[in-house]
């Protein structure tokens, strides 16, 4: 789901003081001072340098304080001078000490007392007799004390310690890469609550949803008020609705309004290739939430792991997705109702969720978050323009009226595009023209600089003029807001029609009018040039979709009857539709489209003069706004009480 909107902030999400290896983010936990973490390779380098320095120091110390290597001749001289105190021999190697210091033969300024030498194998002297005569002690143990026990141990085990440290570092990196949930949990990362708190002041356009969610906020604030009457908080609340309607923002605002910790995660972040990782992460998440209860857990896109079990992709019920779902069901079932942990979840597809998730005791409530109405869009625009300097002519009410069907995410993007446009134009404030130009870009696409032959421009002008004229002539049609033959996106021209007000139900006459208007471009080309081009591709897709829905889903055909033949997705035969019924549906769709096409051609023939005037003005100006196109056609606008909610765009899609 795209990021939920309707807030004044930049929507970057929770900010954390330190990187987390957990698949969830937290808000509202008490800040905790954590020591700065150093990368593992720095620690290894420091340990290695320490080992090398210690080894070098001990080696130099041994060289300076250890026994002096002397020649055998020098040793014999000291023996004859009766200056040898004691010796230790091993084979032909001799170590010992003198009674008095003697100068080193090659360095008269330095003296030595401890020495080491090698006795030549060809020597034939009575060394033991000479040593005994000089009263020297001949020992079987070393005379010179070697390196200390601690130093020897340090040098001997240091490489092993470095190797162990390296493996520990690699082990931690691997566990962090797997999210920390496979081999034990991690403590929750603390976040400064002042940086991430969102309240209902940042939410607009869904007042009826706020009223429902306020009960949960009140329970988290005053749990004793409900517990004394035996009431318990809902264990789970499922937020459903189209993308961009504010489900994630509403969950964060609920936690911010109740001033409790907030744990948020996307369901897909629990899933790993290794079975059991997701279940472990779910256990860690719920454990952390219970420690700081009362708290809120929010799981976004729960249909990723919450789909009904037993499908074709399940392997005996032991795949990772089902393991994770089973753990969520177990954790929610373990709530006593007095723990103060509430689970919020969001999805665009509530119809695919497992029934075990939706039963009472788990997700007790389902709240539908609809796209905002006109008043809601005004409130949302006010939220998003808090930090945007508006020009004196900026009219948010008029802008909201021109954006039916837009969600909070769409409106946030519209405000951002308008601010970008004003900055590029070097303006100090965002004017109403910036908003309208940005709306045109969002709805119609960016204009293309392409050279089109004159014959092609005239054909495009007749195509768009046909859409516009039929939109102005048909009773109940949406008013025409703009007609243009400037190429935008993949289209060579566009006609924009938006309603006067929101409407949530459609009758057959209105839908037939929509089909007539969509076929107006093709009919206009047929009347003017006697040919049909590929420019009507997107129009025909719209016509087919509306006609098939009228017959197969909304029961607007006497032959098919009051039946729903076409499922929302999949093969209708799998839903029980017979081949005869589908053939009848196709015949009815063809009948409706043929009748509407003939009606479009008849209206254009009767108003050919108006059509030609619109074409000439389009060729001259390339773009006609609402007032201009009605003036050129010589028609007055009809103020309609209600009309279709989403805007209608007819585009000439010739590439």
Cβ-based burial of 108 (10 A; exposed 0-12, middle 13-18, buried ≥19): exposed
What is the mean predicted confidence (pLDDT) over 116-135?
80
> Higher-confidence residue: 385 or 82?
385
pLDDT of residue 312: 47
Rounded CA gap, 327 and 362, in Å? Answer: 13
CA-closest candidate to residue 534, choices 489, 597, 490: 490
Q: Is 472 in contact with 452 (CB distance < 8 Å)? A: no
Per-residue pLDDT at 654 exceeds 50: no
pLDDT of 69: 80
**Using an 8 Å Cβ cutoff, are 408 and 205 in contact?**
yes
Tokens of 328: 């969520």
Contacts of 62 (CB under 8 A, 6+ apart): 147
Mean pLDDT within 296-308: 83
CA distance 380 to 383: 5
User: Is the model's pLDDT at 630 over the cut of 60?
Assistant: yes
Distance, CA of 574 to CA of 579 (rounded, Å): 11
Residue 97 pLDDT more than 80?
yes
Q: Examine the residue annotation and report whether 397 is marked as an active-site residue of this protein.
A: no
Q: Which residue has the higher pLDDT, 75 or 476?
A: 75
d(CA 347, CA 238): 8
CA distance 596 to 477: 14
Q: Which helix (H) or strand (E) holds 539?
A: helix 537-552
Cβ proximity of 406 and 377 under 8 Å: yes
Instruction: Tell me which residue of 65, 59, 78 sits closest to 117, measured CA to CA.
Output: 78
Please give the DSSP secondary-structure letter assigned to residue 115.
E
Distance separating alpha carbons of residues 566 and 585, to the nearest angstrom? 10
Instruction: Give the residue from 95, 92, 115 showing the smallest Cα distance to 105.
Output: 115
Assign residue 530 a region (left: φ > 0; alpha: ψ between -120 and 50; beta: otherwise): left
Tell me the mean pLDDT in the region 394-413: 87
Give the pLDDT band (50/70/90) at residue 375. confident
pLDDT tops 80 at residue 336: no
Of residues 332 and 155, more confidence is placed in 332
Q: Give the separation between CA 490 and CA 459, rounded to whole angstroms.
A: 16
Q: Please, which pLDDT band fits residue 74 given cuts at 50, 70 and 90? A: confident
Q: Residues of the chain with pLDDT > 70: what percent?
A: 78
So what's the pLDDT on residue 87? 84
| Contact criterion met (CB below 8 Å) for 512 and 494 | no
Give pLDDT, residue 256. Answer: 78
Alpha carbon separation from 623 to 59, 437, 485, 618, 620 (Å, rounded):
88, 13, 7, 6, 9
Q: Dihedral angle at the C-alpha atoms of 177, 180, 184, 190, nearest 10 degrees? A: 150
303: tokens are 């249909």
Residue 161 burial (CB count, 10 A) = 12
pLDDT value of position 29: 60
- Residues 515 and 415: their CA atoms lie apart, in Å, by 32
Look at 325 and 177; give whichever has higher pLDDT. Answer: 325
Residue tagged 């590929």 (tokens): 534
Q: What is the pLDDT of residue 73?
A: 84
Does pLDDT of 79 surpass 70? yes
Tokens read off for 275: 């079975």
Residue 567 confidence class, pLDDT cut points 50, 70, 90: confident
Strand order in the sheet with 623-625: 623-625, 480-484, 493-497, 648-652
pLDDT at residue 273 in the model: 55
**In the Cβ-directed half-sphere of 430, how many Cα atoms lie within 13 Å?**
24
Average the pLDDT over 321-337 and give the result: 75
Taking residue 598's Cβ as centre, other Cβ atoms within 10 Å add up to 13
The pLDDT confidence band at residue 601, using thresholds 50, 70 and 90, is very high
Q: Which of 10-19, 411-420, 489-498 has the lowest mean pLDDT?
A: 10-19
**pTM of the predicted structure, to 2 decimals:** 0.63
Domains and CATH numbers, the chain: 25-29+188-368 (3.40.50.300), 67-143 (3.30.720.210), 374-444 (1.10.8.60), 454-652 (1.20.58.760)
Does residue 147 register a pLDDT over 60? Answer: no
pLDDT computed for residue 27 by the predictor: 61
What string of DSSP letters covers 216-282?
A: HHHHHH-HHHHHTTT----SEEEEE-STTSSHHHHHHHHHHHHT--EEEEEGGGG--SSTTHHHHHH
Residue 548, pLDDT score: 92
Main-chain phi, psi angles of 477, to 5 degrees: -75, 155
Which pLDDT value is given to residue 546? 92
pLDDT at res. 223: 78
Of residues 17 and 150, more confidence is placed in 150
Place of tokens 């869009």: 377
Query: Residue 598 and residue 592: Cα distance in Å, rounded?
Result: 10
DSSP secondary structure letters along 351-411: GGB-HHHHSTTSS-EEEE-PPP-HHHHHHHHHHHTTTSPBPTT--HHHHHHT-TT--HHHH
Phi, psi of 233 (to 5 degrees): -70, 150
pLDDT, average across residues 149-167 = 71
* Mean pLDDT value across the chain: 77
* Catalytic position from the list 95, 464, 525, 588: 464
Q: pLDDT value at position 100?
A: 84
Mean pLDDT score, 168-196: 53
Q: Which residues pair with 347 in a beta bridge?
A: 240
Q: What is the mean pLDDT of residues 530-538?
A: 85
Each as own residue / partner, the long-range contacts of residues 318-323 (CB below 8 Å, 24 or more positions apart, any chain) are 318/275, 319/275, 320/271, 320/272, 320/273, 320/274, 320/275, 320/276, 320/277, 320/278, 321/271, 321/278, 323/275, 323/276, 323/278, 323/279
Residue 501: pLDDT over 80: no
pLDDT at 591 over 90: yes
For residue 20, the model assigns a pLDDT of 43
Q: Which range has the worst mean pLDDT, 20-29, 59-68, 330-339?
A: 20-29
Across the strands, what pairs with 591?
Answer: none
Q: DSSP string of 152-178?
A: HHHHHHHHHHHHHHHHHHHHHHHHHHT
Greatest mean pLDDT range, 45-54, 83-92, 405-414: 405-414
CA distances, 620 to each of 224, 377, 557, 613, 629 (Å): 73, 36, 44, 11, 13
The rounded distance, in Å, linking the Cα atoms of 406 and 244 is 9
* pLDDT tens column, 222-253: 878 877 887 777 778 888 888 888 888 888 88
Cβ–Cβ < 8 Å for 4, 249: yes
Averaged pLDDT, 574-588: 88
* Maximum mean pLDDT: which of 55-69, 304-318, 471-485, 634-648: 471-485
pLDDT higher at 380 or 59: 380
Question: What is the pLDDT confidence band of residue 474, given thresholds at 50, 70 and 90?
Answer: confident
Q: Judge whether residue 60 has pLDDT over 50.
A: yes
Give whole-number Cα distances, 272 to 265, 278, 280, 314, in Å: 14, 7, 11, 15
- Please write the tens of the pLDDT for every residue from 184-198: 444 334 344 445 567
pLDDT surpasses 50 at 642:
no
């Amino acid at each position: 789901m795209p990021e939920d909107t309707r807030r004044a902030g930049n929507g970057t999400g929770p900010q954390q003081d330190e990187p987390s290896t957990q698949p969830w983010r937290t808000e509202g936990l008490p800040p905790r001072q954590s020591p700065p973490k150093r990368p593992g390779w720095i620690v290894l380098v420091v340990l290695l340098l320490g080992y090398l320095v210690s080894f070098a120091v001990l080696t130099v110390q041994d060289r300076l304080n250890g026994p002096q290597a002397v020649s055998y001749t020098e040793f014999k001289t000291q023996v004859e001078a009766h200056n040898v105190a004691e010796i230790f021999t091993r084979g032909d190697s001799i170590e010992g000490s003198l009674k008095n210091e003697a100068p080193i033969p090659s360095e008269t300024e330095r003296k030595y007392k401890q020495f080491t030498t090698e006795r030549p194998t060809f020597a034939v002297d009575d060394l033991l007799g000479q040593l005994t005569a000089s009263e020297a002690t001949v020992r079987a143990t070393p005379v010179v004390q070697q390196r200390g026990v601690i130093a020897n141990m340090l040098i001997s085990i240091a490489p092993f310690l470095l190797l162990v440290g390296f493996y520990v570092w690699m082990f931690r990196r691997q566990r962090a890469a797997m999210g920390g949930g496979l081999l034990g949990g991690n403590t929750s990362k603390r976040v400064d609550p002042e940086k991430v708190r969102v309240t209902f002041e940042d939410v607009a356009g869904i007042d009826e949803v706020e009223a429902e969610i306020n009960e949960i906020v009140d329970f988290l604030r005053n749990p004793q008020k409900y517990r004394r009457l035996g009431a318990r908080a809902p264990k789970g609340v499922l937020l459903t609705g189209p993308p961009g309607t504010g489900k994630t923002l509403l969950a964060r605002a609920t936690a911010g309004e109740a001033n409790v910790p907030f744990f948020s995660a996307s369901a897909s972040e629990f899933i790993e290739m290794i079975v059991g990782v997701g279940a472990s992460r779910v256990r860690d998440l719920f454990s952390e939430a219970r420690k700081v209860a009362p708290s809120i857990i929010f799981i976004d896109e729960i249909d990723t792991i919450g789909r009904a079990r037993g499908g074709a992709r399940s392997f005996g019920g032991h795949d990772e997705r089902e393991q994770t779902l089973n753990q969520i069901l177990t954790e929610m079932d373990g709530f006593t109702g007095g723990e103060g942990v509430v689970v919020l979840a969001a999805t665009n597809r509530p119809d695919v969720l497992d029934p075990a998730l939706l039963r009472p005791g788990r997700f007790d409530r389902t709240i539908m978050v609809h796209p905002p109405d006109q008043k809601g869009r005004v409130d949302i625009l006010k939220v998003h323009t808090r930090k945007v300097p508006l020009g004196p002519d900026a009219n948010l009410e008029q802008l909201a009226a021109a954006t039916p069907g837009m969600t909070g995410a769409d409106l946030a993007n519209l405000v951002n595009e308008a601010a970008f446009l004003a900055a590029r134009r070097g303006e100090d404030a965002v004017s109403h023209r910036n908003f309208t130009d940005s709306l045109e870009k969002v709805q119609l696409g960016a204009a293309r600089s392409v050279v089109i032959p004159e014959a092609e421009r005239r054909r495009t002008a007749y195509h768009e003029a046909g859409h516009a004229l039929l939109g102005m002539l048909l009773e109940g049609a949406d008013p025409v807001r703009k007609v243009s033959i400037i190429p935008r996106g993949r289209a060579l021209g566009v006609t924009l029609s938006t309603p006067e007000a929101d409407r949530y139900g459609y009758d057959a006459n209105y839908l037939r009018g929509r089909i007539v208007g969509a076929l107006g471009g093709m009919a206009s080309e047929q009347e003017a040039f006697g040919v049909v081009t590929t420019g009507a591709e997107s129009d025909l897709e719209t016509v087919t979709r509306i006609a098939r829905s009228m017959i197969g889903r909304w029961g607007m055909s006497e032959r098919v009857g009051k039946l729903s033949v076409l499922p929302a997705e999949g093969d209708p035969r799998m839903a029980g539709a017979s081949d005869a019924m589908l053939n009848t549906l196709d015949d009815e769709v063809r009948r409706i489209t043929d009748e509407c096409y003939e009606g479009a051609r008849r209206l254009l023939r009767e108003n050919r003069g108006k059509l030609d005037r619109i074409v000439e003005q389009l060729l001259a100006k390339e773009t006609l706004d609402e007032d201009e196109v009605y003036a050129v056609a010589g028609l007055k606008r009809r103020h309609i009480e209600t009309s279709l909610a989403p805007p209608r765009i007819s585009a000439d899609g010739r590439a």
